[in-house]
Structure 1
Amino acid sequence: MGDLREYATDVTKPEVAVFVSGVASMGLEILAGRIVAPQYGSSIYTWGSIIAVFLAALSLGYHYGGKRAASRATTDRLIRLFVLTAGYVAVVIFADDLLLAAAAAMPLPYRFASLPAVILLFGLPTYLLGFVSPYAAQLSEKEGVGEASGHVYAVGTIGSIVGAFGTTFFLIPALGIDRIALAFGLLLTATAVWLAAPRLRRRSVFAALAVSLVLVAAVASGSLGFSTGGKVVYQTQTPYQELEVADLGDTRTLYLDGQRHSAMDKSDPDRHVFDYTRYFHAPYLFADDPDDIDRVLFVGGGGFTGPKRFVEEYNATVDVVEIDPEVIDVAERYFGVEESEQLNVHNADGRQFLRETDREYDLIVLDAYKKDKVPFQLTTVEFMQLANDRLSEEGMLFANLISAPDGSASQFYRAEYKTMARVFPQVYAFPTSETGAVQNIELVATKNDTRITEAQLRERNDRRDIGIDLSAEIESYRHDESTDDVPVLTDDHAPVDSLMDPMMGQRYVVEESERNESEDRPRARDARPGASVAPSESAFDLELAAPGSGPATPDLGPALTAASTTA
């Protein structure tokens, strides 16, 4: 304790400046992921660009700061560095959307598309913060270059740790992006004022106060740019993503990181707004007896479209595991989800839940993929084996993924197909659009060795009362895909980001059901009514992030158009 107390008393103003620069630089790095993700996704390429830019900018600052420290390192220049950095943070708050749009105009391959945006938004402030450490080392009262440098970099590293933990575990769950940026900006200006004490240099204090006012004004006025279509009902930052609920007409949509993930018809909450969610019922045709599907697990909740409809339609007990607690809370408050004896909601990671549970399921629905980021640990052969172990003897795994059915953009789909086929005797595929564009593709994997033909599915659809008519969906039946050129995904090697790379910049088609599905279920739930009316659908196109651009904004006409991976 004595050594620690002595160390604390040895920290001077320059070292405090280094501590604050460490807090701010690492905090801004964590925050960068939240600012850039809605435009470019949160893939490994985005995070790699963020880390590389911050390291490069800091290195340049260290280099040029070190060259100038002997002749230019003064307290006044430290103050100036903090004020200038805070000023640029105000620019980021006020015009981040415009800066992102400007960066998106650069024609780069998808994996590098976020790089100009990160440089434009965070390169300059991080570069300025890089000057602080060498200046502080020069101004340090420590004897010898080695002792001064070691002391400065130890304090700076501690600041970085505080910035990383504080931003990740406290600021992001509690505040919005603009308010977090405001907090860092005010921290920088407050440090500048503190450095100016006790003489309180008038010019420095005035500049710090002026920038503080600009920071507050930037947050109060809101950022320039584009907002989500429709009336925003709720918006927050969760530990995992930016979340927004918006209403457009009778359609309520859940946005995660600026992308549409679920939609609900407020006049008919159990209706499948997106056509691909109708395929969730396909396992009831693959089962020898649909009544044998007594327990269902959904990995991924979103707006709970599938779980709600299953509870309404069938007598099965439905468990839902969702990693983001805020998504669960929003589903209950805005999407009519109510836990009951039939519906159980668990806040956990899907793979961890399966590993720890002793329950056995007749159907597992894997619905946790985003269109631009897939949790690789839910794609591998080890995960498929874990799911297989938690299924009953005749159990099935249903996976909703986004890919193209053919061509170079189909690599992820075919790799996942190949991976599932390593564990399950039979795998079936159902593209949800007749086009060859990027789309939702539904995979059904069964433990049954006997292949179910398309004709058998049609016969069962005509004969069985499963509450929904899937005759149109059965037409997309596929099997025996070519997988020689794609890998089996494993925990050791699951290159999902590179497999998804060819999808970027290609058209993404989502089909939206337009009719009231009450015609599919004319009788009570326990009767399991059949359906005879084919759905009326319309196709809506979206753009995945093209090289050098973010996702295109669709034409929000009478019917909401939406890209979704989580129902």
Structure 2
Amino acid sequence: MLSERGIGQVSGEVFFSSTLGSILGSLLSGFVLIPYVGISMSMYAMGVLVVLVGVAGRYNKTSFKRLDILFYLVVIGALSIPLLDVKESEVLAGGGKVLFSKDGLYEKVMVVDTVLSGQPARLLRQDRSFSSGIQLPTGDLLFPYTLYYKLYNFFHDPATLTHALVLGAGTGTVAKEINKEYRGIVVDVVDIEPILFNLAHEYFMVPEVDSIREYVADGRQFLRINEQQYELIFGDMYSSLYSLPFQVMTKEYCELLYSRLTDGGVYVGNYISSLDTLPPSLLGSIVATFSEVFDSVYIFAMESPELSGPQNIVLVATKGTKVPKLTKTALANTNDRTIRSFLKYFVELEDIFPTLSQYDVFTDDLAPVEFHSMELLRKATL
């Protein structure tokens, strides 16, 4: 039998080994395996390693049998099949050929060719949601909300736009279109997922030009440390109702946005919510939060102002009191055909939110975004 000292020593070594393994496992997973190897391959490799450790534990010259060897070889072989580097030709349910699939730093990223409404399209999928895409073979913008940067032309002469910021790169096509439409400007693009920039150039026809500057960074952190002011900021950092980053929905974040806009500056943001007005209302809180900071706030319902369920909502906020007001009459009378087409999606805030005081204002200290989004989903299933 082990002495008390021997038992203590063995116990200490076991605890030390397990603690060291946990620390190394966490660091290697976050900084090496997931970004450079991928989740699936890492899991299978760990499975093979566990089997090998089991084999080593059973091995001795007297008791290790040929049947044991055969069994472990079969198990290792089965686990090793997914490790083979096979080119993906995966087809999604309902059609769609996968051109690219890889675990990014924060999410699984896929590029898929498919057909939408009879039109060939290429989509970017981040985890379970299709976030953006282009029409094929033209490369034109696919989703209607991505065109709403054009509202800058309603508020100002297009020639006044010199610097634009896109928060959330996606396919990179919004930055590409802004850069193409407003000649001679600089467009800064920020995203926390590094892999998206390479995909934008390789699959989504985004040119590598000096006038489009790419930054791998957290959007809020970028706003905090970057002192450049912009006439236009386009925000698209919300891929689904299940992953709403609260830190870019608070009053303090709105104040950062406001400080980085020039006088008369325009913010255009894509959100996922509903027009439900019964508190707690996610959209009501978003509008209330922006209204605490910005001088004017407007919304567009991307499917229909009559739809009560979840849909894309474009929120437009302006800085300054001298900016023209966005109304149904003004939209109907504009000379820009594209902007005029936005009229049928325009929602008068006074009609659905006669008072905003009943809705929570999100702050860094208290932002129950998940609660509001779950309430939205619960109401949608009733």
TM-score by structure 1 length? 0.59
Q: Which amino acid aligns with 1:242?
A: K
C-alpha separation in 1, matches of 2:293 and 2:227 = 20
Distance 1:141 1:186 in 2: 36
Q: Is the 8 A contact 1:399 1:444 kept in 2?
A: yes
Q: Distance in 2 between matches of 1:146 and 1:192?
A: 25
Is 1:210 aligned to 2:74, yes or no? yes
- Shift in Å at residue 219 of structure 1? 5.5
Cα shift at 1:321 = 0.8
Q: Take 2:220 and 2:165, find their aligned partners in 1: how far apart are those partners?
A: 12
Q: Give the match for residue 421 of structure 1.
A: 291
Aligned to 1:304: 172
Whole-angstrom distance in 2 between the partners of 1:329 and 1:351: 22
Alignment of 1:201 onto 2:67 = no
1:113-132 matches, cutoff 5 A: none
Query: 1:502 aligned to 2:371?
Result: no
The answer for unaligned runs of 5 or more in structure 2 is none
Residue of structure 1 in register with 2:330 after alignment: 456
1:362 maps to a residue whose letter is E
Corresponding residue for 2:148?
Answer: 279
Higher relative contact order (CA 8 A, sep 6+): 1
Q: Which moved more, 1:308-317 or 1:320-329?
A: 308-317
Q: Which residue of 2 aligns with 1:527?
A: none
Letter in 1 for 2:77: L
Give the root-mean-square deviation of aligned CA atoms. Answer: 2.8
Deviations 1:46-81 (A, max 9, x none): xxxxxxxxxxxxxxxxxxxxxxxxxxxxxxxxxxxx
- Distance across 2 between alignment mates of 1:205 and 1:248: 47
- 1:86-485 aligned within 5 A: 143=5, 147-199=9-61, 201-202=64-65, 204-217=68-81, 227=92, 229-249=95-115, 250-269=120-139, 271-287=140-156, 289-315=157-183, 316-371=185-240, 372-407=242-277, 411-434=281-304, 435-449=307-321, 451-459=325-333, 461-462=334-335, 469-475=338-344, 476-480=346-350, 481=353, 482-485=355-358
Deviations 1:377-429 (A, max 9, x none): 11111111111111111112211100001255982222111111111111111
Separation in 1, partners of 2:114, 2:343: 31
Q: Shift in Å at residue 500 of structure 1?
A: 0.8
**Residue type of the alignment partner of 1:248:** T
Q: CA deviation at 1:367?
A: 0.8
Query: How big is each residue's C-alpha offset from its partner over 1:216-254, in whole Å with a ceiling of 9 and x where there is no partner?
Result: 24656999x983531111111111111111112531111
In structure 2, distance between residues paired with 1:398 and 1:244: 26
Separation of aligned partners in 1, 2:77 and 2:145: 49
The structure whose residues are more often helix, as a share, is 1
CA distance in 1, matches of 2:193, 2:221: 14
Structure 2: distance between partners of 1:410 and 1:342 = 43
Aligned-pair distance for 1:311? 1.6
Deviates more, 1:197-206 or 1:332-341: 197-206
Q: Which runs of 5+ in 1 are unaligned?
A: 1-138, 508-545, 548-567
Pair 1:448–1:155, CA change in 2 (3 A): same
Q: Partners of 2:360 and 2:3 in 1: how far apart?
A: 58
State the match for 1:19 in structure 2: none
Distance in structure 2 (CA, Å) of the matches to 1:399 and 1:146: 60
1:513-540: CA deviations, max 9, x gaps? xxxxxxxxxxxxxxxxxxxxxxxxxxxx
The structure in which a higher percent of residues are strand is 2
Matched, 1:489 2:382: no
Q: TM-score, normalised by structure 2?
A: 0.86
Cα gap change, 1:157/1:444 in structure 2, threshold over 3 Å: closer, same or farther?
same
Q: CA deviation at 1:255?
A: 0.8
Give the Cα–Cα distance (whole angstroms) in 1 for the partners of residues 291 and 152 of structure 2.
17
What is the percentage of aligned positions where both structures have the same residue?
A: 30
Out of 382-391 and 305-314, give the one that drifted further: 305-314
1:301 Cα deviation after fit: 0.6
Distance 1:452 1:179, change over 3 A: closer
CA shift, 1:178, in A, is 2.8
Q: What one-letter code is carried by the residue in structure 2 that aligns with 1:377?
A: Q
Q: Would the alpha carbon gap of residues 483 and 198 (structure 1) be closer, same or farther in structure 2, given more than 3 Å must change?
A: farther
Residues 142-167 of structure 1: CA deviation (Å, up to 9, x unaligned)? 73655544432221121111111112
